[in-house]
Chain A
Amino acid sequence: MKKLMLIMVSILLCSTVVFASGATEGEEDKDVTLSVMWFNDANESDVFLDTIDEYLKANENVKVDMQVVSFSEYEQKLKLMISGGNPPDIARVTNNHLSSLGSSLEPINNYVDDISAVEDMFMPGSIAFAKDGDNLLAYPTEATANGMLVNLTAWENAGIDVKKLSKTWTWEQWEEAVKEVIKANDGMKYGLALDFSPHRYSTILFEFGGRQMNLDQSEVEFTNEGTINSINWFKRLHDEGLIPSSVWLGSENPAELFQAGLVACHIGGSWNINTYNTNVKDFEWCAVNTPKEEIRSSVPGGKFIASFKDSENKEEAMKLMAAFSSKESNEKYCADTFNLSARVDTDVPYISNKEDFTVFSEDLKVTPAFTALEWKASSLNKVYSYIREQIVQVLMGNISAEEATMNIDKEAAKF
């Protein structure tokens, strides 16, 4: 009797397991369409779809519905979707987005067994942006860095070995040399174009020993000697005609000025390597180390993918994001989009420009950690436009650098 009972219970348990597993399998096989929100610097959306193609083939029940939005409208659209309770399943976000959208993102911790193992796969700077306390809110996809790109042909025409000089140069040496370059090249009018962006401007600011936040990153604090010196230097270069006023005063695209051969150097993001690789045909160009003032610095940043607390298909979204963040996928994505990898274990097979990426990485390595932490602060991101406006006011001669920094501190205190 006991034996019979044992057999009966065993059969019952087995059938339960079989049915239960069948139910799970049924759920796994349920068709899921993941909504993906994306913005492009160049060709990232196409490469993303290409990279996840194999995952989608292996998981036929998963489909992707991608919406590509222009970057200028991206944050607003994303915020409205989140506040309306209808966020996408997956979104591409920048480090700036992470600071403003952090509270609405679904932590990855709930979907992986060992979160510290996941964190160890990526560069510490990228993880710093993606973490909120103990929670990891997003998978880093690519690292970005600010750096200098030069018109190599123009420098060679002036007889200057810019690659060698840039290994140790200071801003004073750069100024002296770039004047020679302008003199030696007909049609070259300016020494430097800097993106119309406080983030790119902060490269100069940090190099001059400036800070945007106080030491514990709790408050915006622009009023300090280094920051004021950097603004005054920036104004002097505008006044002397070494920097074109049409970028910061007239919103002209500095990349277009560089591509037209009008400027000798461009300080921009690492994604410009991709742009110039495609667009620049008339002269040779390369990345060089940024000149030094108090310190040599880049500004780290990055792009990430994340899911949201209110997303409809979080489970499947997390699986796809994990697959997309694997070493192989990340290498392919970064190689095809010409981006720096955010993983520590990758050897990206760039088809060209490997040297340029190495230069950007070198600048990143000597960049102090506080630069990333400052740009992580939401209070700083809220006065982003105001910072730009105040610097322009100085360039126009309407206010002094001291007044601008005090105004920025006062404005930030309102939040």
Chain B
Amino acid sequence: MKKRTQKGNFHQILAPILFLLPNLLIFGLFIIIPAFQGLRLSFMKWGVFTPKQFVGLDNFKNLLSDEVFWITFKNTIVYSISTVICLLISSLVLALLLSRNKIKGEKAFRATFYIPALISLIAVGIAWRFILGDEMGIINYVLREMNFNPVSWLTNGTMAMLSVIIVTVWAQSGYYMIMFIAGLQAIPIELYEAAKIDGASAFASFKRITIPMLKSTILVVLVLATIQSFKAYELIVTMTKGGPGYATKFVVQQVYQVAFIEDRFGYASSMSMVLMIVIAIFTLIQFKATGKEESYE
């Protein structure tokens, strides 16, 4: 009897811990410890070749009056909200179109929309720079050939921001589409049949069945897309270098510049901490807004 209890304890407590241990070790080593190091650095003045010096909250105080940081912060928020909303809608629409096995060649379409998600964002950025370039870009070349005025895709601030949002959505919609397809295919078909018998319209079925049943998938997409958008770097640097001016410069690029060009690692860490807090707040809001469990059985 005593022996059985001990065995039960091993299976219920120790075994799960042992299974989790490798992941916890990697997570701790590469995420948790660097995060705490970053926090510690944010209270320091430190360059690569200069000794660390504790400066308390000075870095955070300086951030308050750093005009460029707040421009990049505002740009990040605009980009993040726009891309997350567009990604959510576009990937859901694609999933709705391609999840019911009703369109001919549906699998080929799925693969086509998913392929951009497999391409490195650096390659995506370079390719789109060639497409959208003012003088050497393909689109403007075609416009000129057709006697239309070329468009300042990347040299006008508003157009440049719009361009990076569109390219981001193009590059990532396929990835989230797959998540939505999985979510949609998990919804029991009987629910739709019952709704049809009750005379519900397609929109009513979508509103009353699809959306509620997809709530957890929507939450995952929202959280992942938000985190991804706040961390956007490669695509932007290769496509616009943050320009024109500060028009598409985001916090991550500013962190890189301050750390590796200006050699102010402490100050850059304080920027990263602010970014981390903002991402955490956004994620929490999303959890609060969509996370309440409901039963549809």
Which residues in A have some Cβ–Cβ distance to B below 8 Å?
Answer: 75-76, 79, 82-83, 100-101, 103-104, 189, 196, 244-246, 248-252, 256-257, 260, 262, 382-386, 389, 392-393, 396, 398, 415
A79 pairs with B260, CB closer than 8 A: yes
Report chain A residues within 8 Å CB of B263: 100, 382
Known contacts A260-B136, A389-B246, A392-B245; A250 and B155 CB within 8 A of each other? yes
B240 pairs with A251, CB closer than 8 A: yes
Residue in contact with B154 in the complex, picked from A101, A244, A250, A257, CB distance below 8 Å: A250
Q: Can you list 29 A-B contacts (CB < 8 A)?
A: A76-B260, A79-B48, A79-B260, A82-B48, A82-B49, A100-B263, A103-B49, A104-B49, A189-B135, A244-B134, A245-B134, A245-B152, A250-B133, A250-B152, A250-B155, A250-B244, A251-B243, A252-B133, A252-B135, A252-B136, A256-B136, A385-B257, A386-B68, A389-B68, A389-B245, A392-B245, A396-B157, A396-B245, A415-B262
Q: Among residues 240 to 297 in chain B, which have CB atoms less than 8 Å away from a CB atom of chain A?
A: 240-241, 243-246, 257, 260-264
Report chain B residues within 8 Å CB of A248: 244
Report chain A residues within 8 Å CB of B152: 245, 250
Q: Write out, one digit per residue, whether chain B residues 154-185 have a CB within 8 A of any chain A CB (1) or not (0).
A: 11010010000000000000000000000000
Complex: how many Å from CA A76 to CA B260?
6
A413 to chain B, nearest CB (A): 13
Known contacts A246-B133, A257-B136, A389-B246; A251 and B154 CB within 8 A of each other? yes
Report chain B residues within 8 Å CB of A246: 133-136, 154-155
Complex: how many Å from CA A21 to CA B160?
69
Report chain B residues within 8 Å CB of A100: 263
Report chain A residues within 8 Å CB of B243: 249-251, 392
Report chain A residues within 8 Å CB of B261: 75, 382, 384-385
Q: Write out, one digit per residue, whether chain B residues 211-246 have a CB within 8 A of any chain A CB (1) or not (0).
A: 000000000000000000000000000001101111
Report chain B residues within 8 Å CB of A385: 257, 261-262
B141 to chain A, nearest CB (A): 11
Name the residue among B135, B153, B257, B262 with the largest chain A CB count within 10 angstroms.
B135
Residue in contact with A398 in the complex, picked from B154, B245, B260, B264, CB distance below 8 Å: B245
Residue in contact with A249 in the complex, picked from B48, B49, B155, CB distance below 8 Å: B155
Known contacts A83-B48, A392-B243; A75 and B157 CB within 8 A of each other? no
Of chain B, the residue at the smallest CB distance from A257 is B135
A75 pairs with B129, CB closer than 8 A: no
Complex: how many Å from CA A43 to CA B133?
27
A97 to chain B, nearest CB (A): 12
Report chain A residues within 8 Å CB of B129: 251
4 A-B pairs with least C-beta separation: A246-B134, A249-B244, A249-B155, A250-B154
Majority SS at the chain B contact face = loop
Report chain A residues within 8 Å CB of B135: 189, 244, 246, 252, 257, 260, 262
Of chain B, the residue at the smallest CB distance from A101 is B49
Q: Write out, one digit per residue, whether chain B residues 129-145 have a CB within 8 A of any chain A CB (1) or not (0).
A: 10001111000000000
Report chain B residues within 8 Å CB of A392: 243-245
Complex: how many Å from CA A248 to CA B129?
14
Report chain A residues within 8 Å CB of B262: 382-383, 385, 415
Name the residue among B154, B155, B160 with the largest chain A CB count within 10 angstroms.
B155
Of chain A, the residue at the smallest CB distance from B134 is A246
B48 to chain A, nearest CB (A): 5
Name the residue among B129, B154, B240, B262 with the largest chain A CB count within 10 angstroms.
B262
B29 to chain A, nearest CB (A): 16
Complex: how many Å from CA A398 to CA B71?
13
Report chain B residues within 8 Å CB of A415: 262, 264
B63 to chain A, nearest CB (A): 12
Complex: how many Å from CA A415 to CA B263?
9
Complex: how many Å from CA A382 to CA B264?
10
Query: 7 new A-B pairs (CB below 8 Å) besides A196-B241, A260-B136, A385-B257?
Result: A246-B136, A248-B244, A250-B243, A252-B134, A392-B244, A396-B245, A415-B262
Of chain B, the residue at the smallest CB distance from A247 is B135
Of chain A, the residue at the smallest CB distance from B150 is A246
B57 to chain A, nearest CB (A): 17
Of chain B, the residue at the smallest CB distance from A396 is B245
Complex: how many Å from CA A75 to CA B49?
14
B126 to chain A, nearest CB (A): 11
Of chain B, the residue at the smallest CB distance from A382 is B262
Report chain A residues within 8 Å CB of B134: 244-246, 250, 252
Of chain A, the residue at the smallest CB distance from B260 is A76
A311 to chain B, nearest CB (A): 16
Of chain B, the residue at the smallest CB distance from A259 is B136
Report chain B residues within 8 Å CB of A79: 48, 260
Complex: how many Å from CA A251 to CA B153?
12
Report chain A residues within 8 Å CB of B154: 246, 249-251
Report chain B residues within 8 Å CB of A104: 49
Q: Among residues 104 to 160 in chain B, which have CB atoms less than 8 Å away from a CB atom of chain A?
A: 129, 133-136, 152-155, 157, 160
Name the residue among B244, B260, B263 with the largest chain A CB count within 10 angstroms.
B244
Report chain B residues within 8 Å CB of A244: 134-135
Complex: how many Å from CA A114 to CA B221?
67
Complex: how many Å from CA A185 to CA B263?
47
A104 to chain B, nearest CB (A): 6
Complex: how many Å from CA A389 to CA B136?
23
Of chain B, the residue at the smallest CB distance from A251 is B241
B208 to chain A, nearest CB (A): 48
Report chain A residues within 8 Å CB of B244: 248-250, 392, 396
Complex: how many Å from CA A249 to CA B154?
7
Of chain B, the residue at the smallest CB distance from A263 is B135
